[in-house]
Structure 1
Amino acid sequence: MSGWVRVCATSELLPGESKVAWDGDTPILVVNLDGDFYAVEDQCTHEDFELSAGVFSDGQVECTLHGARFDLRTGEALCAPAYSPVAKFPVKVEDGAVWTRDDR
């Protein structure tokens, strides 16, 4: 299991904003939803495409490639063409910074 990866200072990730961090070879999309931070793998499960390029609204991200949507809080796939959830990762806020890790 990897250690925690620093994403950014909390002041650098305002509500509605997102950042991508890397834990080894894993891209992790971290999103601030109204002051709560969530992290999912930055890869659509339908096709290998980064979710960070997508459209964010109502706690969801829509993949720009084919329109699959995912719940950023749970990783759940919400519509076709994606049927599998994206991996969800832990997030912690410590010493004014946002941290995540690939805990698979």
Structure 2
Amino acid sequence: MSKLIPVVAVADLPPGARLHFDLAEESVILLNIDGDLYCIADLCTHDGGPLTDGNVCDHQIECPRHGARFDVRSGRVTRPPAADPIPTYPVRIEDGIILIEEPDYW
């Protein structure tokens, strides 16, 4: 069963902000896009580079290295050269704290 990891207070992640942090076995990015929260793996599936500094537009994050784009809501690829989706993680808010659902690792 997955566990919930408290990350940051909702008030500390305003719209347009992002936060990079590490889960147990991978780095992730928490994004606030127009008040909606998304959590994605910080990993471009094209070449393994980070997405942390990628531009975000229309719910897509662009890899700063080669321009691949991913939908932060689903992880699906929206522009090559990437072919595989990125992992996404459920986000919850409880008592004003943003929680990320840590996946079950094998």
Same fold (TM over 0.5): yes
2:18 aligned with 1:48, yes or no?
A: no
> Which residue number corresponds to residue 70 of structure 1?
70
Shift of 1:102: 2.9
> Which residue number corresponds to residue 13 of structure 2?
13
Deviation sequence 1:34-87 (CA, Å, 0-9, x none) = 111111111111111111111111111100010000111111111111011000
What is the rounded CA distance, in whole Å, between the counterparts of 2:90 and 2:38 in structure 1?
7
2:39 aligned with 1:39, yes or no?
A: yes
Shift of 1:101: 2.7
Segments of structure 2 that go 5 or more residues without pairing to the other structure are none
In structure 2, give the amino acid aligned to 1:92: R
Shift of 1:30: 1.0
What is the rounded CA distance, in whole Å, between the counterparts of 2:98 and 2:85 in structure 1?
23
* SS class of match (2:52): helix
Percent identical: 37
Give the alignment's Cα RMSD to 1 decimal. 1.3
* SS class of match (1:39): strand
TM-score normalised per structure 2: 0.90
Confirm or deny: 8 A CA contact 1:67 1:81 kept in the other structure.
yes
TM-score normalised per structure 1: 0.92
In structure 2, give the amino acid aligned to 1:58: D
What is the rounded CA distance, in whole Å, between the counterparts of 2:76 and 2:40 in structure 1?
10
Confirm or deny: 8 A CA contact 1:7 1:20 kept in the other structure.
no
Q: Size of the alignment, in residue pairs?
A: 104
Segments of structure 1 that go 5 or more residues without pairing to the other structure are none
> Which residue number corresponds to residue 96 of structure 1?
96
